[in-house]
Chains A and B, each alone.
Chain A
């Protein structure tokens, strides 16, 4: 009975976390798409592809070990005290909203800036919302695997150390993602001609 209750609470929290983050991320996408649309109206179209390639190329060069140019970011974490002061479903919702905003917390990799460039370049609020919604779903998917990833209820410290060991793989996946993304930009540009 107790375990079933905990499972239900976990499921509700994960659903709220995912939904709140999707809401925040799509809002970020819409804002960037609107910015792109107004820029296109003001300064024309010629900057789009070079800008996306430049931002993506910067990110890729950084990932491949180019001189460590600081990643523009707000060096902030989600407040941990929410976990101690608020019911778990509310904490999960707030974490989702906060992390879903993408740029209000630590960025490990430059990919979100590439996506921001794509959102601005696309100039479509709906398209940018889909882009940032997809990014959030990729990020939030991890929490759905928590029951598989954690062997026991007291595995959190071991998980933190295991995540450190997983970073090199995540780094490589991010590089592949940027390469595919840059290829996509070129293909979209060619298809648009």
Chain B
């Protein structure tokens, strides 16, 4: 099924597929960032590493705003 949005042709069938992939990648990247920070901080007993993971995780959420 196709439609037009703002003058561009959109294949509506693709939207749920891409949405699912975006959610999967968002969770994957956020887990790597935040989870990696937590794990690194625990392993190295260095809480600053937690903040580096937080920085990466917050960066992942900046998908919009270009």
Does B9 lie within 8 Å of A131, measured CB to CB? Answer: no
Separation of A174 and B61 alpha carbons in the complex (Å): 6
Separation of A38 and B47 alpha carbons in the complex (Å): 24
Tell me, yes or no, whether B39 is within 8 Å of chain A by CB.
Answer: no
Contacts of B15 in A (CB 8 A): 158, 161-162, 165
Q: Which residue of B lies closest to A151 (CB)?
A: B14
Contacts of B47 in A (CB 8 A): 184, 187-188, 191
Instruction: Pick the contact of A165: B6, B19, B29, B66 (CB < 8 A).
Output: B19
| Given A139-B60, A151-B17, A158-B11, A177 and B26 contact (CB-CB distance below 8 Å) | no
Does A134 lie within 8 Å of B53, measured CB to CB? Answer: yes
Q: How many residues of A contact B (CB 8 A)?
A: 61
Q: How many A-B residue pairs have CB under 8 A?
A: 180
Separation of A136 and B62 alpha carbons in the complex (Å): 9
Instruction: Pick the contact of A138: B16, B19, B21, B56 (CB < 8 A).
Output: B56
Tell me, yes or no, whether A180 is within 8 Å of chain B by CB.
Answer: yes
Does A184 lie within 8 Å of B25, measured CB to CB? Answer: no
Contacts of B43 in A (CB 8 A): none
Q: Which residue of A lies closest to B10 (CB)?
A: A157
Q: Which residue of A lies closest to B12 (CB)?
A: A158
Contacts of A177 in B (CB 8 A): 30, 33-34, 54, 57-58, 61
Tell me, yes or no, whether A24 is within 8 Å of chain B by CB.
Answer: no
Contacts of A115 in B (CB 8 A): 55, 58
* 11 A–B contacts from the bound complex (CB under 8 Å): A78-B66, A109-B61, A115-B55, A135-B58, A158-B15, A161-B15, A162-B18, A169-B26, A174-B58, A174-B61, A177-B61
B residues touching A (Cβ–Cβ < 8 Å)?
5-6, 8-12, 14-19, 21-23, 25-27, 29-30, 33-34, 37-38, 41, 47-48, 50-66
A residues touching B (Cβ–Cβ < 8 Å)?
77-78, 99, 105-109, 111-112, 114-115, 118, 127, 130-132, 134-142, 145, 148-152, 154-163, 165-167, 169-171, 173-174, 176-178, 180-181, 183-185, 187-188, 191
